Structure 1
Amino acid sequence: MLKLKTFACMLLLGGAFLSCESDLDVTPQDDDELLADGFFETEGAYKQALAGVYANLSLTSINDPGGSNIAGLDAGTGQYIRGLFNLENLSTDEVIWTYENDPGLRGMQRNTWSSDNPLILGVFARASYEIALANEFLRQTTSEKLSSRGVSGTLVGDIQVYRAEARVLRALANYHLLDMFGKAPFVTENDDVGFDQVPEIVGADLFTYIETELTEALPDLVAARQNEYARVDQGVANMLLAKLYLNAEVYTGTARYADCIEVCETLIGSGYSLTPNYLFNFMADNNSNGAQNEIIFPITNDGANTQNFGGTTIIIQGEVGIPENNGESLGVNPGGFGGLFRVRPEFARLFTENPLYQSDARNTLITQDRPIEIDNIGNTAQGYLITKFSNRTSTGGFGSDRTFTDTDYPLFRYADVLLMYAEAVLRGGGGSESLALEYVNDLRERAFGDTSGNITQAQLTLDFILDERSRELYWESHRRQDLIRFGLYTGSSYLWSYKGGPQSGTAIPDFRKLFPVPNQSLSSNSNLTQNTGY
């Protein structure tokens, strides 16, 4: 496993590769600074430098969990996974944040955000930073650079793998920008250092760029499940391709369900397996308790070494209920972070309306002495809680710290592959209907412990798939994307509590399928354009 809190992180995230100006324009420094320091004199330096690219997915600073290496960006809302959670889950029917006076929160969870929303800025800036980090790593590892430093032999082959990993990490950041903004600043390692007026790349062009990056990187990557834990391999690249193809009709107007099925078949044949205990995927030892066979790409959390106020720390601390003070059972302090999160009633009913789901292992709702409805968002005693993520281990122990959690965030899981295959079959992509049913029932047999929850071929419909995706993948940063793909995110055909503002929900316009490009980003780069409606 790559150790994130290393000298590499201090270089990459502390400023030797990048400087972040107050206007949030991410600008690489002159690479002679690194050469002058002699950083690449040792063979291990290249792996350390790659660790810094990974570290941006977990850390906001190497000095202080409350610090930020991007000037003007809050350390909490600027953390990569917390940003994804805010935009992909908090803006949907799955979760609600108690304290609406916190900057940006009311607009996000009521779908009334503007281009000044700091949560949106956090995601755009952090993903752009990831692209810049990957670009600088690629600049420093060209054949010419390696030759000038006398690098040869086995290390050259190793660095070729590292370069492929960096390209996938860059593609991941571009994928998130495509999904949430429909565009991205288009800069690669071939652009001049310090070039700040970066052109934008939009829609189908961005889709094709990401697809090409992934397919070109694939042959140089380690085979699926054969790399160190939490490092990119062919499975991660294929998972990104499958997600691209599943959503291609949204992104480009052209369906690619057959391609999604083909890539899912590759993933299904790559040796992944469902962890027998669903909740092991979300525990403090999910790097070693068997969940590593299901988690295709985790974003690491370590209570001692990668402290930050995003990732699973904010999720687990936020799960703790007030007045329950049930943090001890989740492996954190009794009061957690003061009742940050509850679930909206529409999500809760996926488990409560049918008695069958009372025995579903995925049902982690706390309902006792709580109303399902939330008529006062600030009242922490209203609305059900969940306890899906935990800082406890599979053997009953605790994580290394009661504030900062050890639980890795499962960005991509094999369970999603099975659901994507089934959905793509139902959408006419080909494949096997009987296999689609088998894969869905594999998930339900894990959930129920037997075949009592299995469905028939006739019951396997797109509506069922959407609900099953929420039951299986809730709070894993997929819901907004799913609702958009199913045509339910905007408009009035599906209303959830506080959608568009009021408790009863109201229609939101189609332009909110995309978030606005932040005003700060527009100010620092005149080549960026605003999305329609903002």
Structure 2
Amino acid sequence: MFNYIYTGIAGLMVVFATSCTGDLDTDPRVEQTIDNILDEDPDAYKGMLAKIYSAFILTGQETSGQTDVVAPDAGASSYIRNYWNFQELTTDEALNRWGDGGLDALNRLNWTAGNNFVRILYDRIYLEVAMANNFLRETQGIEDEEIQDFRNEARFLRALAYWHAIDMFGNVPFVTENDPVGNFEPPRYTREALFNYVENELLEIIPLMKDPGTNEYARADRVAAWMLISKLYLNAEVYIGEPRYSEALTYLDNIVRESGYSLEPDYQNLFLADNDNSREIILPLASDGLRSQSYGGTTYIIHAGISNSTMNPSDFGVNGGWEGNRTTSAFVDLFGNLETNGDRRALFHTEGHIKENTDYTAFNNGYAIAKFKNITASGDMGSDTSGEFVDTDFPLFRLADAYLMYAEAVVRGGTGGDLSTALDLVNQLRERAYGDTSGNIGSAALTLDFILDERGRELYWEGHRRTDLIRFGKFTGNTYLWPWKGATLGGSAVESFRTLLPIPLTDLGVNSNLVQNPGY
């Protein structure tokens, strides 16, 4: 539903220039000077912060057809849409039928440094960094308590974008509010250097963030910062070659015991048009079908997962299906026999579809996913009665993920947690999934392989799978195969360098400090 902070955007008509030409920290272009706007309307500071939040899900400043980054299709330029594509289409959880503009390469895991979607994701990440940097410059020295809260959130959002850069690209340009604006070539930071920076930023701002549950809806509080640093530590062995599971458990234990968040009783309700009512979602990317329209975010996820011939779009609260994304047979197999399994998270549409993915250009080759809907828990359609844009918020961080992260960190040998708590947390998710204790497991079954599969069953299509498969050593190579991995129907080995995306050619050509990632 509508993110309250987004209301500040309209009052501040600021359009931030992109970083795709190599200028990673350009000044915003404004009709007046920013100083004039801020002098006339102090609330504009909140509008500036709102722009940083909204840029994770919206495509531009004004309408669904306008984009802040250079892209042939405005709708396809959304930050979370591109992040989702790389986290899902490159894995067993999703296949895209369209294949246009470079999407085929995601299905096949054979993209190049010239891939359009690689560039758009990179540009989006650095647009977020540029906007956060600009906000921090403009608010430097202001002692007002609310502005200080805004600054802490801007630093959090910059850390979030930089975490995506660490995870996706590894060795990247680095720029902060203290660097020159304009004609400036940012230095290249190694993955380890950027990891250390993000870690230190989060350690500084965690005690400064608002207490759990005290911030406006869809704004980050201390729990969101706990989640982000936990994710940084959980993946540290991939990022810097050093296990940091004990450090992850420090903050995951805080989330489990002190966050005030709680599991949503009905799993499906987490992905409906009124999921803003849930106390499980720690940090949503908020959508509103009337006031924050774009063809990214959950509008994309819902429409692109629906067929007009085998499904009824009105059952999903939208006016039509785009027949783009569905899942693979390998992912369906994680649930076993769908008729007897009893796991209510298996939200597949099978009628008119075959399980196999023989032809990934045919939408009915693969089961459709019926997880996200623009329908409320009471069955009402979202606020946009045309059915074009949705109200369903994207759950970037939620409590169930923290439960599974806690269990994984314990099983991997982290200290500061315990096996009995880990088992209880996993079984709480299983009891919700099965409606009783019939799906519960014992401690002997709580293995890393089980946890990876359970993360798939619990978190599919929420933008986690690529990072998870890499952490478990199953993204590249031939240890785990799924349809069209490596560009073959049965799946084939993929080169290890594919765990990182290439630095886009557009930035390599304008920043002499950059070095292409190996393999590209």
Q: Which TM class, normalised by the smaller chain length? A: over 0.9
Look up the SS of the partner of 1:19 in the other structure: coil
Q: Are 2:3 and 1:4 equivalent residues in the alignment?
A: no
Q: Which residue of 2 aligns with 1:60?
A: 59
CA–CA separation in structure 1 for the residues paired with 2:296 and 2:338: 34
Q: Which amino acid letter does the alignment assign opposite residue 170 of structure 1?
A: R
Q: Is the 8 A contact 2:172 2:191 kept in 1?
A: no
Q: Are 2:260 and 1:271 equivalent residues in the alignment?
A: yes
CA-to-aligned-CA distance 1:329-367 (integer Å, 9 cap, x gap): 11111x311x1111110001112447553x222110112
**What RMSD in Å do the two structures reach over aligned CA positions?**
1.8
Give the superposition deviation at 1:194: 1.4
Q: Which residue of 2 aligns with 1:149?
A: none
Give the superposition deviation at 1:43: 3.0
Q: Which residue of 1 aligns with 2:226?
A: 238
Q: Which residue of 2 aligns with 1:434?
A: 420
Q: Which residue of 1 aligns with 2:307?
A: 321
Mind listing any 5+ residue stretches in structure 1 that lack a counterpart? 147-151
Q: Which residue of 1 aligns with 2:367?
A: 384
Q: Is the 8 A contact 2:109 2:485 kept in 1?
A: yes
Q: Structure 2 vs 1, CA of residues 482 and 354 (structure 1 numbering), >3 Å: closer, same or farther?
A: same
Q: Which residue of 1 aligns with 2:283?
A: 297
CA-to-aligned-CA distance 1:247-279 (integer Å, 9 cap, x gap): 000000000001111110011121111000111
CA–CA separation in structure 2 for the residues paired with 1:60 and 1:86: 15
CA-to-aligned-CA distance 1:266-305 (integer Å, 9 cap, x gap): 11121111000111111101112xx1x1101100111111
Q: Which residue of 2 aligns with 1:517?
A: 503
Q: Structure 2 vs 1, CA of residues 87 and 40 (structure 1 numbering), >3 Å: closer, same or farther?
A: farther
CA–CA separation in structure 2 for the residues paired with 1:91 and 1:230: 28
Q: Is the 8 A contact 2:20 2:123 kept in 1?
A: no
Q: Structure 2 vs 1, CA of residues 209 and 329 (structure 1 numbering), >3 Å: closer, same or farther?
A: same
Look up the SS of the partner of 2:374 in the other structure: coil
Give the superposition deviation at 1:21: 7.0
Look up the SS of the partner of 1:298 in the other structure: strand
CA–CA separation in structure 2 for the residues paired with 1:54 and 1:30: 16
Q: Which residue of 1 aligns with 2:333?
A: 349
Q: Are 2:447 and 1:461 equivalent residues in the alignment?
A: yes
Q: Are 2:44 and 1:45 equivalent residues in the alignment?
A: yes
CA–CA separation in structure 2 for the residues paired with 1:285 and 1:36: 38
Question: Equivalences for 1:369-448 in 2 at 5 Å?
Answer: 369-401=352-384, 402-430=387-415, 431-448=417-434
CA-to-aligned-CA distance 1:449-485 (integer Å, 9 cap, x gap): 1111111111111110000000000011110011011
CA-to-aligned-CA distance 1:68-114 (integer Å, 9 cap, x gap): 122346423321110111111110011101112x1011111100100
Q: Is the 8 A contact 2:481 2:492 kept in 1?
A: yes
CA-to-aligned-CA distance 1:94-136 (integer Å, 9 cap, x gap): 1101112x10111111001001111111110001000000000
Q: Are 2:159 and 1:171 equivalent residues in the alignment?
A: yes
Q: Which moved more, 1:279-288 or 1:22-31?
A: 22-31
Identical pairs, percent: 45
Q: Which amino acid letter does the alignment assign opposite residue 119 of structure 2?
A: L
The count of aligned residue pairs is 513
Q: Structure 2 vs 1, CA of residues 515 and 274 (structure 1 numbering), >3 Å: closer, same or farther?
A: same
Q: Are 2:436 and 1:450 equivalent residues in the alignment?
A: yes
TM-score, normalisation: structure 1 = 0.93
Q: Structure 2 vs 1, CA of residues 367 and 199 (structure 1 numbering), >3 Å: closer, same or farther?
A: same
Q: Is the 8 A contact 1:231 1:297 kept in 2?
A: yes
CA–CA separation in structure 2 for the residues paired with 1:190 and 1:356: 59
Q: Which amino acid letter does the alignment assign opposite residue 434 of structure 1?
A: S
Q: Are 2:199 and 1:211 equivalent residues in the alignment?
A: yes
Q: Which amino acid letter does the alignment assign opposite residue 393 of structure 2?
A: D
TM-score, normalisation: structure 2 = 0.95
